[in-house]
Structure 1
């Protein structure tokens, strides 16, 4: 996209978030259920459509703006300045990643039935992969849910947990074992044998639909709802995972930047020990370290986005960016709380809720330790060829 177009989109997103989304976010301390869940989602997305900023990532033939990874990064960051901003633009997880996956793998019929209403914000979705022990968590190869071939389709059996957005999702993308590999399957939420169970209460409260247990008991999926190729599920999932990690970074970068800006404004106006807090060396170090972490996160993010836009898997680049960002953005939020003192732990300022929401990102989409393990193995393999 021309830079002028993206710059204008960023500016309009910034104005929309501050005027239409932040007040609601702050009034409910970032808790989307308390704010009204799907009712508020529909209202915010309607307003985003009117502002011309809705679905910047979605394909243009389905009403989206069709931005690539590099172009969407600053737009997503501005949306992430509010915890509810990504939901308003229809770029929240897991729907944003599912749009990307379906756009690459869905058949024409699947695009019409699943992708089109998802891209337009008419439906929500969930990606059902994570399982309770000893099933798949950080190690996808431990996948225990099975899909057994029957006449005309597949019977799915297994237990999932921590499935984001499951409560209220209209359909599921299911990862199930079919032999030595896996297959991705599509199923409407009302399919017999598919049951959404309890919410698993977690630190974060801004993701609509919560993180839920989901069970499958002889849930039938017809052959036409296989997503991608049978027995190529793990490879297909990689289409989603790399870009989804980077869009997570984009969104949380916006939230961390807000925490930092709130903290800087606080120390610049707070008198203590005969001077402004901002004039004290220890505070200046925290401010500077936040600036460094923001800049470094943004640089690594853009390097990974360029590699993705060039058509590569960018496994190394996305692992580096995700690991650094998960830890750097947590540091930013934590320093921001510290700079704000007692107020930083209260609902009077937004830094506490941002710190709460960002902390799980060091685990979501691959814990830092797993990414480090993968990076180390790759480095050793490359040097010893």
Structure 2
């Protein structure tokens, strides 16, 4: 399909595709076949190869060691890395690191960028976004945020309980969402504060076991439960303006939702390729399975819906580049999450026993993609936003509030 991506976008995506096909996917296949994990040293070697091919961190400005692609131009590359369980990680474009890099680059001070962003891009340190809280804390309704940060002189004193903090086990620092003005509405009284891992009072309680995994890799930052107990950090660790946490998070998530859409559409496309290859070779009931009309029609439907999802994401990206695209992003995210779930489920079904076995990546894909209907905004949250827009008889003040702050925001660290 021709999506009219820019020449630069197609050039980089083509080189990313070649890197996946020539280097990354063969190593993934070997790891799945042998059961041997891909080590951290191997991941760092992949980073060096990506740098040699001018593919490393495509989303980061060149001055910090990335490729400096515009948002729309980087999306096709994110689709290519989604074809592999370790694709995004291999070029340093994986969540939550990618979103945290974007946040620091977008609103960080020069000092914060030099101390934290530059080494983060290069993989010298790791990070996590710490927002989601256990019941009854912030989640799909972020106004319920319970974590607080109170000023004491030139320091913040942070207290709170978080979970689903992706890469939280390995992180060297956390971007923590906390209420900094309890007298203000949460949308206007919440800040993002950078908390070093070694700060007194940071207690990483456990890794939360969950559906899905990161594939056959040794590097596994987990999804941590963390308690912040009178953690003191300088006020200068505030990311962006005090009280602007939700606005910054929304800027972070708008693009993050679309990059996730592209990664998962790449995963779905590879799943279809595997299924079609299997159907062409496997015979049953007197002919190749690819000749069975029922399967052919289901594959045709999947190709059509996946094409529609790709088109929606690109449209939302163009609108996001121009300004507000809250509804377009919500539609693209909700639709793509469901279509990629359905497509990968179909691929597993087509491959039968080979689909549920883990010699192929389909079983890993199947486990991983289910979370996409929850992270970055559950389906129901996005439908609520879309329905508000669709009906012209909703309360105007409520609509204005939603447009400003995206009340239906879900910042789930499984994403990012």
Do they fold alike, i.e. is TM over 0.5?
yes
TM range (shorter): over 0.9
Corresponding position of 1:24? 27
Unaligned 5+ segments in structure 2 are: 397-416
CA distance in 2, matches of 1:107, 1:190: 21
Does structure 1 residue 368 correspond to structure 2 residue 370? no
Unaligned 5+ segments in structure 1 are: none
Cα deviation digits, residues 7-36 of structure 1 (max 9, x gap): 222221111112221133234449x99433
C-alpha deviation, 1:40, in angstroms: 3.5
Cα deviation digits, residues 205-251 of structure 1 (max 9, x gap): 11830111111011112111101111221111111011000111111
Q: TM-score, normalised by structure 1?
A: 0.95
Report SS of the residue matched to 2:156. Answer: strand
C-alpha deviation, 1:197, in angstroms: 2.2
CA distance in 2, matches of 1:47, 1:171: 27
C-alpha deviation, 1:264, in angstroms: 0.6
Q: 1:337 aligns with which of 329, 348, 355?
A: 348
CA distance in 1, matches of 2:103, 2:391: 31
Cα distance change, pair 155–383 in 1 and its aligned pair in 2 (3 A)? closer
Report SS of the residue matched to 2:214. Answer: coil
Corresponding position of 1:316? 327
Whether the 8 Å CA contact 2:32–2:359 is kept in 1: the answer is no
C-alpha deviation, 1:285, in angstroms: 1.5
Does structure 1 residue 225 correspond to structure 2 residue 237? yes
Cα deviation digits, residues 242-271 of structure 1 (max 9, x gap): 100011111111111111100011111211
C-alpha deviation, 1:55, in angstroms: 0.7
Q: CA RMSD in A?
A: 2.1
Report SS of the residue matched to 2:170. Answer: coil
Corresponding position of 2:64? 62
Corresponding position of 1:255? 267
CA distance in 2, matches of 1:382, 1:316: 17
Report SS of the residue matched to 1:131. Answer: coil
Aligned residue pair count = 383
- Asked which structure has the greater RCO (Cα within 8 Å, sep 6+), the reply is 2
Corresponding position of 1:155? 157
Does structure 1 residue 187 correspond to structure 2 residue 211? no
Corresponding position of 1:9? 12
Whether the 8 Å CA contact 2:159–2:228 is kept in 1: the answer is yes
CA distance in 1, matches of 2:164, 2:288: 45
